[in-house]
Amino acid sequence: MSESALSAPILPPATLGMLGGGQLGRFFVSAAHEMGYKVWVLDPDPHSPAGRIADFHLVAAYDDYAALDRVAAECAAVTTEFENVPAATLDYLAKFVPVRPGAAAVAVCQNRIEEKGFLAGNGLPHGPYAAIRSDEDLRAADAALFPAVLKVARFGYDGKGQARVADVDEALAAFHQFKGEPCVLEKLLRLDFELSVVLARDEAGAVRCFPAAENRHRRGILDVTIAPAQSAPAGLRDEAQVVAARIAEHLGYVGTLGVEFFVCEGVLYVNEMAPRPHNSGHHTIDACDVSQYDQQVRALCGLPLGVPRQHSAAAMVNLLGELWYADGHATGAYREPDWRVLADVPGLRLHLYGKHHARPGRKMGHFTVVGEDQAAVLAQALRARGAIGVTDE
């Protein structure tokens, strides 16, 4: 489908298509319903969180072309909630309906080698790296890259498919452990802290950025997001927004985009791009005039983007599957966490995703604490985090 001219807005009660049924898709469905749209979800998991609240859940693989034909026939436009939907699927659907973001943009973000090449080719800040496709590539890598992190180019997330390596021998061992999958070798940078920027870009190129947030990780998974970022001076937060907007422009991106940054000795480096709403943007539901999911609906449907004003300080805490086990491991007794300890915390909003089974490391929900004072909000969130059983182990 050609979109050389601006498309006519898609208005309620049109039906929208969502590829992917996780919690990001669930929040999209909720936002779309609030705005009067219907939503079809395509996801192979019959218990998917988004599918459970959608108007229709099509249980099928992402490369099931009979299912894609049904989506194209019933939906006015299609989006996605995770980056690993095959680009060929997006290309196919785009022949019939608007697909935002488009396959070309998603393909860049799907592959770390492509992503790094995109950053380098467009003069965007990134750390030293090498593309690794063979043992010979590792042996030829600049010694100055070590110590480093070896990351699989595809499908790695939440710390999976990554290994810290001190030298070439360790890198070769990790590469073989990854079964020779293409990888990137990234120099291990001295990290001050991590930032992220979530933005929306519309078909006309208008960009609206949420304030930069600060992220803390535990065992490679996002643990706490502080918004606005506490450790970054205003100038650095502004610079992160500018870089994120440049990324969206160079990608020709339409939709909601998350950009993760490392801050090292006061300098910004792009870590990753996510062609979808981002875990670090969950707080926008409770702390901003419009959420990242509202913006996703608006960009998909060709509506004016909202003004992403943050009206309250916020701290978001992820709730992972180990909380559902008495000993914090899958070997312990399975039970529901005691949500009563969160019920009387001022300014705390609990969001559970409705996943049918908890396992350690799986994102099962989050809570956000909002208020007027950033330090007080963070302290309150960390106390609640401990009370529900999240530990630093």
Q: pLDDT tens-digit profile of 32-63?
A: 999 999 999 999 999 999 999 999 999 999 99
- For each of the domains in the chain, give its residue range(s) and CATH number, in order of start: 15-99 (3.40.50.20), 128-187 (3.30.1490.20), 193-388 (3.30.470.20)
How is residue 325 written in tokens? Answer: 């086990």
Q: pLDDT tens-digit profile of 206-226?
A: 999 999 999 999 988 999 999
* Residues tagged in the binding site annotation for ATP: 112, 151, 156-162, 186-189, 194, 217, 271-272
Q: What is the largest CA-CA distance in the chain?
A: 59
Note the pTM of the prediction, 2 decimals. 0.95
Place of tokens 């010979």: 136
Closest by CA to 378, choosing from 320, 318, 316, 291, is: 316
pLDDT number for residue 2? 43
pLDDT number for residue 41? 98
Q: pLDDT tens-digit profile of 240-265?
A: 999 999 999 999 999 999 999 999 99
pLDDT number for residue 113? 97
Rounded Cα–Cα distance for residues 381 and 349 (Å)? 11
Strands (E), the chain: 15-19, 38-42, 56-58, 77-80, 129-132, 148-152, 162-165, 183-187, 193-201, 207-209, 213-218, 221-227, 255-264, 267-274, 313-320, 348-352, 363-371
Count Cβ atoms within 10 A of the Cβ of residue 206 and give its class: 0-12 exposed, 13-18 middle, 19 or more buried. Answer: exposed
* Residues tagged in the binding site annotation: 112, 151, 156-162, 186-189, 194, 217, 271-272
Overall size of the chain counted in residues = 393
Rounded Cα–Cα distance for residues 227 and 369 (Å)? 10
Amino acid at 15: T
Contact between residue 227 and residue 214 where contact means Cβ atoms under 8 Å apart: yes
Kindly give the parts of the chain with pLDDT less than 70: 1-5, 156-159
Closest by CA to 130, choosing from 118, 117, 121, 119, is: 117
pLDDT number for residue 157? 63
**Secondary structure element (H or E) that encloses residue 214, with its range:** strand 213-218
